[in-house]
Homo-oligomer: A and B are copies of this chain.
Amino acid sequence: MQSFEIDKSDLLRIKTALEGDDAELEKVLKEYHASEIAIIFERLPQEAKERIINVLPTVMASDVIAEMDEEHHPEDILISLDPEKRSEIVEELDYDVATDIISQLDEDEQHEILRDIDQEDASNIRNLLNYAEDTAGGLMNTEVIKVNINLNKKEALDEIIRQSEEMEEFYTIFVIDDADTLKGLVSIKNLIKARADARVSDLVVTDFVYVAADLDQEEVARLISQYNVTSVPVVDSHMKLLGRITVDDIIDVMEEENTEDILKISGVSEDEELSGNWQDAIKSRLPWLVINLATAFLAASIIRGFDSTVAKLSIISAYMTIIAGMGGNAATQALAVTVRRISLSDLTDRQAYNTVIKEFLVGMINGACNGLIVFGVALFYDGNPKLGLVLFLAMTCNLLIAGITGASIPLILKRVGIDPAVASSIIITTFTDCFGFLLPLWLASKLLL
């Protein structure tokens, strides 16, 4: 099976079925997986989505809602359903998924939804709503399988089967004591294999990875990836078991964080929705462009300072755009490598120092190579070796500056607690623009005029 792509015929089938009666519609829908319907939803109007959710059996309807991208606002569908259907669906959702969706609504709407559902479910969801969405607590599912350390094999297995009644997948089984304190993990395999008189306390593994509820989700992802575990328990400050985070929740976090990284490094607000409307895109990007405009004026003011040089040697204004532009390109390269390194692991002082030295060397050598080419063009095309020399020196210096700033600015920002992906590129471009104009103009004014 290949990854599902909506093709026109699927969409057409469903649109046609939407014109028919409920039974016919349900029959067509049942040929799709819930996650496929969630994708088809992206292309349907609100009324069609509501109708489909109403027609589907509750379990599948709740799967569809669960699979919808946050970006496509599953909460809008939920709030528009009639209360009875809605309650059925919410009760069917995993607590962590229900919480994520409900958290997007305003307080009155949240209250309305939680009032109508099973009160144990409601209190679990209310609990989860207290954790920030991007922390371990916001990510965790409170439905865990846990057995008391004092049980014997048979009691433990019965307990596990009872608790897993409503869970689709079998994850880690946590071992707790009478005070609900997390003591360790036990593997179902070892439990099944153990002798009939074995106790959980004989089988418990006490060396395990856990996270605090307020740990940032990016840290959780890093931990799960580093320790190669499929699930981590979430605990409070007294080691009381609150829930678990599974590796499949982390996949969504990683996608989200990676989207944010690429957007931030490109000067787009991390909150911009990829498929959002143009008004939101302007709100997200215009402030950044205006800041860029201010720094561009700064760089351009250098050119103004050399008005007479430009007037006497107008050719220099073509060359300086090349040197500034190449500085920007080289800096972007150094920046991308450094930002990505930082985001995968923290660098020690020594590693940071080595990174800057490396980028200094790379910048200087790449600068000299490109400088030679520009020298050649000035020599053969303009017949001016002195101009060539000016451009060679300017190119080498600017790419060297690009290398140093491209590596050191994100490292410095990280050290002082500013997100390097957001702020680095504007600072660095300002450097390479300013020096890209200053170096050729100043050298030309000294050596050529």
Contacts and interface: CB of A to CB of B under 8 A. Distances in A.
Interface stretch (A46-54, A113-121, A310-318, A409-417): A310-318
B268 A337 contact: yes
A262 B336 contact: yes
Interface stretch (A1-9, A74-82, A100-108, A126-134): A1-9
Contacts of A370: 289-290, 293
Given A300-B322, A337-B263, A337-B274, A230 B248 contact: yes
A388 to B, nearest CB: 14
Contacts of A358: 277-278, 281
Identify whether the interface residues of A are mostly helix, strand, loop, or mixed.
Answer: helix
Contacts of A285: 330, 333, 362, 366
Interface stretch (A18-26, A84-92, A195-203, A208-216): A208-216
Which of A39, A67, A254 has most chain B Cβ within 10 Å? A254
B321 A259 contact: no
A262 B410 CA distance: 15
A289 B398 CA distance: 13
A376 to B, nearest CB: 11
Which of A209, A221, A224, A333 has most chain B Cβ within 10 Å? A333
B344 A3 contact: no
Contact of A362 (B8, B35, B282, B437): B282
A161 B192 contact: yes
Contacts of A348: 6, 8, 43
Contacts of A67: 228
A123 interface: no
Contacts of A351: 275
Contact of A322 (B169, B293, B307): B293
A281 to B, nearest CB: 5
A261 interface: yes
A340 B282 contact: no
Contacts of A341: 274-275
A433 interface: yes
A322 to B, nearest CB: 4
A403 to B, nearest CB: 9
A303 interface: yes
A225 B272 CA distance: 22
A235 to B, nearest CB: 10
A317 B324 CA distance: 13
A446 interface: no
A69 B162 CA distance: 41
9 contacts: A1-B209, A3-B223, A39-B226, A262-B336, A285-B330, A288-B329, A296-B325, A299-B325, A300-B319
Given A169-B230, A281-B359, 5 more contacts: A161-B189, A221-B251, A230-B247, A281-B358, A310-B310
